[in-house]
Chain A
Amino acid sequence: MASKFINITLKIWRQKNSKAKGALETYTLNDVSTDSSFLEMLDQLNEQLINEKQSPIAFDHDCREGICGMCSLYINGRAHGPDTGITTCQLHMRMFKDGDTIYVEPWRSRAFPIIKDLMVDRSAFDRIQQAGGFVSVNTSGRTMDANAIPIPKADADKAFEAAACIGCGACVASCKNGSAMLFVGAKVSQYALLPQGKVEATDRVLNMVRQMDEEGFGNCTNTGACEIECPKGISIENIARMNREFLKGALTKA
């Protein structure tokens, strides 16, 4: 790991709060280690801003290892930046060259209003989950033995792959329609694939899709951008599965 140091120019979206008007501001940052993660680079910039008594850039982050889904950022025109299969916090500065200009913008979606600078409000995802993203089982622990129903490994694996979604919203951000189908499709699929989830499958899909539509996300036109930009490689097969489940529900539910 030979670390190098590079100098970069940043064009970063600054916006004081949800109501204020925002604009891209330009910053220069020198001596960025190529071993730094993208967020560590922003830390460095913030440290510089604080030392100059300017207001630091607000961005969301927490785990910094690609699992909490808190970090976001539209970097050089792509959700989570130029690398694939990763989140912004896993993006490293070795992806950039000395002298690069890097654009950093927040997720843009009507359903994800900006809170400040690069932070957006993704609680729409929570509300979709609350509309049906669960199995209605009480937490008594006395359900049945965990091995009572064998589940084919292939199904369990597929359910897991769908469940690996971290709720980051990159799918919405990169979709030209601002559609949340990949996120919702993944949740619907996870449960539809498991016997425990099948019981409520129809209600679940109808309710979750209704909530999704109410939140103001766009409609899927199958461009497949979400699947490419999803840090967890969630497949649009899950969207197809949701479409099937939805049709079943819409045709059978009185």
Chain B
Amino acid sequence: MSKLNSRIPEGPIAEKWTNHKNHMKLVAPNNRPKIDVIVVGTGLAGASAAASLGEMGYNVKAFCFQDSPRRAHSIAAQGGINAAKNYQNDGDSVYRLFYDTIKGGDYRAREANVHRLAEVSGNIIDQCVAQGVPFAREYGGLLDNRSFGGTQVQRTFYAAGQTGQQLLLGAYSALSRQIGLGRVKMYHRHEMMDLVKIDGKARGIIARNLVTGELERHSAHAVVIASGGYGNVYFLSTNAMGSNVSAAWKVHKRGALFANPCYVQIHPTCVPVHGTNQSKLTLMSESLRNSGRIWVPKKKEDAEAIRAGKLKPTQIAEEDRDYYLERRYPAFGNLVPRDVASRAAKERCDAGYGIEANDTNEGVYLDFASEIKSKGKQAAYALGDHDPSEERMIELGKKWIEEKYGNLFQMYQKITDENPYETPMKIYPAVHYTMGGVWVDYNLQSTIEGCFVTGEANFSDHGANRLGASALMQGLADGYFVLPYTVSDYLANEIRTGKIATDSPEFDAAENEVKETIDRFLNNNGSKSVDHFHKRLGLIMWNKVGMGRSEQGLKQAIEEIGLLREEFYKDVYVPGSSDEMNPELEKVMRVADLIELGQLMAVDALHREESCGGHFREEHQDSEGETLRDDENFKYVGAWEYNGSDSKQSTLHKEDLNYEFIKIAARNYK
């Protein structure tokens, strides 16, 4: 039996989900309170799932490592959420969203999942509005939209630059309601340490109470993992400091396959690395590319002078600027997908046109001057001034910008001490999102029965590159509208199981393993901090498994990470004890998993001898530096089976991707 049965329902693409829903099994309301479900993670994906399952009547236990569900990393999403509502009447449709997503993902996503996502996208907006999520509105009182990269329609709903926050708070409010009603029990400041499997089925988890250090056993009839992405394998990323792979990795170690780990999204618009001791990178939302134009100087001398502080960007004449995205991709211009924009920035900087005076001269400009003027002019007209002065236009334009992006501009100014209303922003790509993750079937179930994975933690619907504003959409779609059906379908067979005991040998063994690992680290008596290793891992990953990857680099990375792992286990020092709040202990457990994952990413990247989406193999590009996909040999999901901490030993399983409803073609944004 093949390990990978994607369980895609039969039938035409537009009817698959409806038919499937009609035929899935149900659990009667009176049986639901007898069934326990664990949800690990309360970001958009987890909170929406836990709220929905709680609302249905299941006994839900939800876990997060932060002090509140409201702090999950989803809160940081800025730009917006897509939905095929076509409120703007610009030709959008479910099909188009489906098509854009598949194409944006460079034809490496599963058609059926993506179509389902597009189908339910509209309901997300309805749901959120009903929950009191304050989306941006137009003067007529109806919802406003903006556009995001990789699309030619305006389908992105937003709440200033804080869309993720507002959506998460919406999901958090739904979750809070269920907690208040006693249907969900929330375990905050708790970290899942392992999955417990009994007779091949996911039956519970071992969690650590981060305040007391106690290990706890929790049993359930199904476990949902919604633990987010693993961008922190690069140390510097736009992810929150606590984002990690551990929950997903533990599931992987227990037998779930891990798919496409090498697909990493490098976001083009982040604040460049500056200063020493930097701990993370900050995203400047993609929505800014609606209004900003990206450029570097045309002349190398100018770039050098800027880096040396002798020239200011505002002093560079219009004709001496290279708006390289508009030049290379006239059809999409500054709104090409993220991977394309990122590589283009790297190309310019590698060629010596970078403008930031950091170690690597990595930085390009994102300039709002033209937008300020044109929006100022519009605003002046709206106010009845048909011949506005330059100053008036700039003044009104800045106001417009402030209303749209105020918080982002403020954030930028606080970090860099520069005023982006006056001088262009400096930006550079940074690690942002991970398309890879735990392999799941159409029902979002992993290869472990009863273990579902959702949100950024699964390998999801985004193929080799995610379009902006689609992660929020996916998280909520899965949590609100998919998992309640598919989890119920699974649980229908569990109504006779009864309460699952936590004193079984399986629970004993799992807890002991966790204890041993903790003790091992605490007694290690090494000499270097966890961060020391994390930073070194990050450097290897960024330089060799980053934006441009080569066979040689990847091979080196695999070896170097292997050595790093050995050194880590020998020489890492973890202060404190296990029976107290111990952030260093939390970190060491996470970094241990990140090291294994990092190596697997390199292994996966090495095996994938093509360029697609976020995975760019330098050997596979055309004369203009565009990606060269190899559909003949690599049109599949690469899912890895765990065979020990040396990820070189992992076994590859393939899920072939069949495009029945979309004609597969080279991705073209020109």
Q: A residues within 8 Å of B by Cβ? A: 1, 3, 16-17, 33, 35-37, 39-41, 43-44, 47, 50-51, 53-56, 58, 60-70, 83, 85-86, 90, 92, 94, 115-116, 119, 121-123, 125-126, 129-147, 150-153, 156-157, 159-160, 163-164, 166-167, 190-191, 194, 196-197
* Partner among A1, A126, A146 whose Cβ is within 8 Å of the Cβ of B143: A146
Q: Which of the listed residues B69, B124, B581, B584 has the most CB atoms from chain A within 10 Å of its own CB?
A: B581
- Please give me the 5 A-B residue pairs with the lowest Cβ-Cβ distance, nearest first: A150-B141, A35-B275, A141-B123, A130-B180, A134-B173
Distance (whole angstroms) from the CB of B77 to the closest CB of chain A? 9
In the complex where A1-B417, A62-B73, A145-B126 touch, is A115 in contact with B172 (Cβ < 8 A)? Answer: no
Inter-chain contact A130/B176, CB cutoff 8 Å: yes
Q: B residues within 8 Å of A by Cβ? A: 48, 51-52, 55, 66-73, 75-76, 85, 87, 120, 122-143, 159-160, 162, 165-166, 169, 172-174, 176-177, 179-180, 186, 188, 211, 240-242, 274-280, 282-283, 357, 410-411, 414-418, 480-481, 484, 529, 531-532, 573, 575-576, 580-581, 583-584
Inter-chain contact B188/A126, CB cutoff 8 Å: yes
Inter-chain contact A17/B580, CB cutoff 8 Å: yes
Distance (whole angstroms) from the CB of A228 to the closest CB of chain B? 16
Residues from chain A with a CB closer than 8 A to the CB of B188 are: 123, 126
Inter-chain contact B529/A64, CB cutoff 8 Å: no
**How long is the Cα–Cα vector from A230 to B159 in the complex, in angstroms?**
20
**How long is the Cα–Cα vector from A187 to B279 in the complex, in angstroms?**
32
**How long is the Cα–Cα vector from A245 to B575 in the complex, in angstroms?**
51
**6 contacts across the A-B interface (CB closer than 8 A):** A35-B275, A53-B573, A129-B70, A139-B127, A146-B122, A163-B134
Distance (whole angstroms) from the CB of B69 to the closest CB of chain A? 8
Distance (whole angstroms) from the CB of A132 to the closest CB of chain B? 8
Inter-chain contact A130/B177, CB cutoff 8 Å: yes
Distance (whole angstroms) from the CB of B647 to the closest CB of chain A? 28
Inter-chain contact B166/A39, CB cutoff 8 Å: no
Inter-chain contact A164/B173, CB cutoff 8 Å: no
Residues from chain A with a CB closer than 8 A to the CB of B162 are: 67, 164
Inter-chain contact B277/A141, CB cutoff 8 Å: no
Residues from chain B with a CB closer than 8 A to the CB of A44 are: 277
Inter-chain contact A64/B240, CB cutoff 8 Å: yes
**How long is the Cα–Cα vector from A153 to B160 in the complex, in angstroms?**
13
Given contacts A151-B141, A157-B137, A160-B166, 13 further A-B contacts (CB under 8 A): A1-B274, A36-B275, A36-B277, A37-B279, A64-B280, A126-B68, A126-B70, A141-B127, A141-B481, A153-B139, A163-B133, A166-B165, A167-B71
Inter-chain contact A33/B277, CB cutoff 8 Å: yes
Residues from chain B with a CB closer than 8 A to the CB of A85 are: 410
Q: Which of the listed residues B71, B133, B278 has the most CB atoms from chain A within 10 Å of its own CB?
A: B71
Inter-chain contact A197/B241, CB cutoff 8 Å: no
Residues from chain A with a CB closer than 8 A to the CB of B138 are: 153
Residues from chain B with a CB closer than 8 A to the CB of A54 are: 575
**How long is the Cα–Cα vector from A55 to B582 in the complex, in angstroms?**
9
**How long is the Cα–Cα vector from A43 to B583 in the complex, in angstroms?**
12
Inter-chain contact B75/A92, CB cutoff 8 Å: no
Q: Which residue of B lies closest to A164 (CB)?
A: B162
Residues from chain B with a CB closer than 8 A to the CB of A66 are: 411, 414
Residues from chain A with a CB closer than 8 A to the CB of B165 are: 67, 164, 166
In the complex where A141-B124, A141-B480 touch, is A116 in contact with B580 (Cβ < 8 A)? Answer: yes
In the complex where A56-B575, A62-B71 touch, is A94 in contact with B137 (Cβ < 8 A)? Answer: no
